[in-house]
Amino acid sequence: MTSEVVENEFEFYSKAEKYWKDVPATVDGMLGGYGHISSIDINSSRKFLQRFLRDSPNRTGTTRALDCGAGIGRITKRLLLPLFKTVDMVDVTEDFLTKAKSYLGEEGRRVRNYFCCGLQDFSPEPNSYDVIWIQWVIGHLTDNHLSDFLKRCRAGLRPNGIVVIKDNMAQEGVIMDDVDSSVCRDLDVVRKIIRRAGLHLLAEERQENFPDEIYHVYTFAMR
């Protein structure tokens, strides 16, 4: 549990904000020096997501998506804008959202809102999103804030909408990273938080072809 490793909640959040302010507004910066894995990541995410967008009675719509912890818009540009009519982005670092406006190019006209906000304080507009995509950012929330945020995401879904988390998973327990002020949870802890938020897991998948030295990465779809 994060309560065991996060000693000071205010410091936990403020230290993370300070860390990201010093990170270059580039794909390599967003990925902690692993910019070369971006295409592998996006291609796997697209395959994972498209299974929910295919024709079926309970097909997830393609009207509007939300990119949480969006940074400069790497996922918005390459995954969400090609599949959805409009996208909203939320990130705690204003410089990243400013950079996104040039990084996204012409297609960026279909980004409706740039929300500068930490996810612990952000509420998706109710009944608005077909997909809420949350990648490499849950480690910056305490367990309680993550559970509460996921509850707000559930309320933000349109009919047949899904919430997707893609993130690093620890082998066991919860590991604190003092450098960027984040935590890495194991699979059981993440599943418990998802259940606590009242969400039901639809699919779970381990990312393949990532470098051996980094954490295992898993993708979850839920509603």
CA distance 47 to 30: 22
Ligand-binding annotation for 207, yes or no, is no
Does the annotation list 178 as a binding residue?
A: no
Angle between helix axes 187-196 and 143-156 (nearest 10 degrees) is 50
Dihedral class, residue 35 (left if φ above 0, else alpha if ψ from -120 to 50, else beta): alpha
190 among the known binding-site residues? no
- The answer to whether 50 is annotated as binding is no
Cα(137)–Cα(183) distance, integer angstroms? 10
- 119 has binding-site annotation: yes
Strand pairing category for 182-185 and 174-177: antiparallel
The answer to whether 152 is a known ligand-binding residue is no
Q: Is 28 annotated as a binding residue?
A: no
Residue 92 is assigned to a ligand binding site: yes
Mention every residue, 6+ apart, whose C-beta is less than 8 A from residue 47.
Answer: none
Query: Helix-strand-coil percent breakdown of the chain, rounded to 5?
Result: 40, 25, 30
Return the beta strands (E) in 117-187 as ranges.
129-135, 157-169, 174-177, 182-185
Sign (positive or negative) of CA dihedral 84, 91, 157, 45 = positive
Q: Binding site: what residues are annotated? A: 69, 74, 91-93, 119-120, 135
Q: Binding site for S-adenosyl-L-methionine: what residues are annotated? A: 69, 74, 91-93, 119-120, 135
